Structure 1
Amino acid sequence: MTNKDILEIAMKQSAIDANCKIDDFKGKDSVIIESIKNSNARRYLELPIACNLISYGQNIVASIQMEYKDIVEKYISKYQVEHCFETPNMHVLNNEFEKYGMQVCFMAEYFLPDINELSVQNCKYELKVLEQKDFVDLYLPQWSNALSKSRKNLDVLGVGAYKDNQLVGLAACSADCETMWQIGVDVLPNVRQQGIASALTSRLAIEILAKGKVPFYCCAWSNIKSVRNAIKSGFRPAWVEMTIKSKEFVDSING
């Protein structure tokens, strides 16, 4: 795959998720489209969704429930694309949705591999490729970024770092859709800052590509450690999303 191929695959999946066309992400004008259920969408998405703003940098595709069209249309037409995903402008959208018992919830940056930068990285510990059967006893708090206890069936491939036959780092991916697998990574605190995370992430990305799938990586833009790992591992920023959820859902996350 080339970088162009990888970006097209990602945009195609985003188009499925948002119920739009690939070209909608490439124009200068923002697009509002109705959110609908789709069995081919990323598995963790709960569709239809009240409002999800997606941008690959050129414009915004707003996938929404149409009763909120006036709110969203006014918002994305008033502010610059990048400002729609940050404060203080974000408060305008949040305030409007609060009237309907909803709030801004998820704000995430997504990364795709740069084929020209992706390579096998040195690691002082032994690396092993792991399959789904190897994850059975690994659904523990220390591996909660790499593995999803609630979606075990989607955890399909991983790479572990071993020190004296003990697992000290784990990158694993979930088959979130047909063409793209999402990477998560954990490293035990006592062995961090030794390049383990990037060695695991880059190696797993290479393994995913070898299977004909596109690896992707997601984190909050405020998570500097995770962003640095993405960059060091050979990934580059590709798109951003901001999602509205119910206040009850937001409160449940906040505890």
Structure 2
Amino acid sequence: MTNNEILEIAMYQSATDLGCCPDDFRLHKNKVVLSGNNPDARKYLTLPFYCNLVSYGNNIVASVDSEIADIVENYINKYPVEHCFEPPNMYRLNEALEKKNMGIGLMSEYFLPDITALREIQCDYEMKILLPGDFANLYTSEWSNALCEKRKQLDVLAVAAYDKNKLIGLAGCSADCQSMWQIGIDVLPEYRRRNIASALTSRLALETIYRGKVPFYCAAWSNIRSVRNAIKSGFKPTWVEMNAQCISSISERNK
């Protein structure tokens, strides 16, 4: 795969999720579309969206419920693209959402592999490729970023690091849609800062590409450790998303 092919696949998937066209992300004007259900969307998404903003850098594509469409359109056209995803401007949108018993619930940055930078990184520990049967007993709190217990059926591939017979790091892939697999990573605290995370992430990304899938990586903007790992592992920031959720769901998460 080339970087351009990888980007095309990601934009096609985002268009599937949002209900727009892939070329909409290349426009130099914003676009609002009405959200709907799609069986080919990423499996962890809850569709239809009430309000989901996505930017690949050029503009914002907003996938929304019809009752908030005009408000969102006014919002994204009032402020520069980057400021729509940060305070204080985002508070304006949140105020409008709260009147509908909704609020800004998720904000994430997504990374795609840079083929010119992606390479196998070495660490001082043995690494092994694991298939679902190999990690069936690893759905514990230590590995909750690498594996998702709620969606076990989507976990398809992992790479583990061992200190002798002790599992010290795990990167896992979730088949969140037909063409793209999401990478999550966990390393035991006492083994961090030893190149284990980047070694596991880069190896799993390469194994994913060998299987004809596009690996992608997600992190919160404030998770500097995770963002650094993505970049060190050969990934580059590609798109951002901001999603609205119901107030009760946000309150539950705040507990």
Q: TM-score, normalised by structure 2?
A: 0.99
Q: Is residue 254 of structure 2 the alignment partner of residue 254 of structure 1?
A: yes
Paired position in structure 2 for 1:164: 164
- Per the TM alignment, residue 115 of structure 1 is displaced from its structure 2 partner at its CA by 0.3
What whole-Å deviation, never above 9, does each CA across 1:74-125 have from its counterpart, x for those lacking one?
Answer: 1001000000000000000000100111100100000000000000111100
Amino acid of the structure 2 residue aligned with 1:178: Q
Counterpart CA distance in 2 for 1:70 and 1:16 is 22
Which residue in 1 is equivalent to 2:240? 240
Match of 2:139 in 1: 139
> For 1:176-215, what aligned pairs fall within 5 Å after superposition?
176-215=176-215
Cα offset, 1:211, TM superposition: 0.2
1:227 aligns with 2:230: no
SS in 2 for 1:244: strand
User: Where in structure 1 are there 5+ consecutive unaligned residues?
Assistant: none
Q: CA deviation at 1:136?
A: 1.0
Aligned-partner Cα distance in 1 for 2:138–2:239: 31
Partner of 1:121: 121
Question: Could you say which residue in structure 2 is the equivalent of 1:88?
Answer: 88
Supply the distance in 2 between the matched residues of 1:148 and 1:253 (Cα, whole angstroms): 17
Amino acid at match of 1:28: H
SS at match of 2:36: coil
CA RMSD of aligned residues (A): 0.4
User: TM-score, normalising length from structure 1?
Assistant: 0.99
For 2:149 and 2:134, the matched residues in 1 are separated by 14
User: Which amino acid in 2 is paired with 1:107?
Assistant: M
- Distance in 1 between the 2:200 and 2:128 partners? 9
Query: Aligned residues, how many?
Result: 255
Kindly provide the amino acid, as one letter, of the partner of residue 50 in structure 2.
A
Name the structure 2 match of 1:98. 98
Counterpart in 2 of 1:32? Answer: 32
Runs of 4+ in 1 over 4 A off after TM superposition: none
Q: AA paired with 2:178?
A: E
Q: Could you list the per-position Cα deviations for residues 6-50 of structure 1 after superposition, in whole angstroms to 9, with x for gaps in the alignment?
A: 000000000000000011000001000010000000000110010
Letter in 2 for 1:85: F
Which whole-Å CA distance do the structure 2 matches of 1:203 and 1:164 have between them?
Answer: 19
Could you tell me how far apart the structure 2 residues matched to 1:224 and 1:9 are? Answer: 27
Give the partner amino acid of 2:55.
Answer: S
What is the alpha-carbon distance in structure 2 between the residues aligned to residue 29 and residue 171 of structure 1? 38
Output the amino acid matched with 2:129: V
C-alpha displacement at 1:66, in angstroms?
1.1
Match of 1:108 in 2: 108
Shift of 1:67: 1.0
Alignment partner, residue 149 of structure 2:
149
- Deviations 1:152-196 (Å, cap 9, x if unpaired)? 000000000000111100000100000000000000011110010
Aligned-pair identity in percent equals 59
SS at match of 1:133: coil
Deviation at 1:71?
A: 1.1
Q: Distance in 1 between matches of 2:135 and 2:243?
A: 30
2: CA distance, partners of 1:139 / 1:27: 42
Q: How does 1:44-83 map to 2 (within 5 A)?
A: 44-83=44-83
1:210 Cα deviation from its structure 2 partner: 0.2
Kindly provide the amino acid, as one letter, of the partner of residue 254 in structure 1: N
